């Protein structure tokens, strides 16, 4: 399972539901899956806000668009 997770992650086709079933069992997948995606949406909202503030402070999109790349 670990090797397939690495390969799927590299290819951008990760199987979140399958990994959750493997890690936590079928009984808990619904709740955990909801928390995973809810936290993802909160993180996306925070990132969009920070990028907007950075754009307002700097004056262009160079820094907000280059920061995820490192």
What is the structure's pLDDT at 42?
94
What is the structure's pLDDT at 46?
92
Q: From CA 11, how far away is CA 46, in angstroms rounded?
A: 26
**Helices (H) and strands (E) in the chain — how many of each?**
4, 0
**Alpha-carbon Rg of the chain, whole angstroms?**
17
What residue segments make up the domains of the chain, in order of their start? 2-69
What is the structure's pLDDT at 65?
66
Whether residue 20 contacts residue 32, with contact meaning beta carbons closer than 8 Å, is answered with yes
**8-65 residue pLDDT tens:** 666 655 567 777 788 888 888 888 888 888 998 999 899 889 888 988 988 887 776 6
Whether residue 8 contacts residue 14, with contact meaning beta carbons closer than 8 Å, is answered with yes
């Amino acid at each position: 399972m670990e090797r397939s997770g690495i390969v799927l992650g590299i290819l951008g086709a990760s199987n979140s539901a399958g990994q959750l079933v493997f890690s936590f069992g079928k009984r808990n997948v619904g709740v955990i899956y909801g928390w995973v995606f809810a936290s993802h949406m909160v993180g996306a909202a925070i990132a969009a806000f920070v990028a907007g503030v950075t754009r307002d402070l700097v004056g262009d999109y160079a820094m907000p668009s280059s920061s995820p790349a490192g």
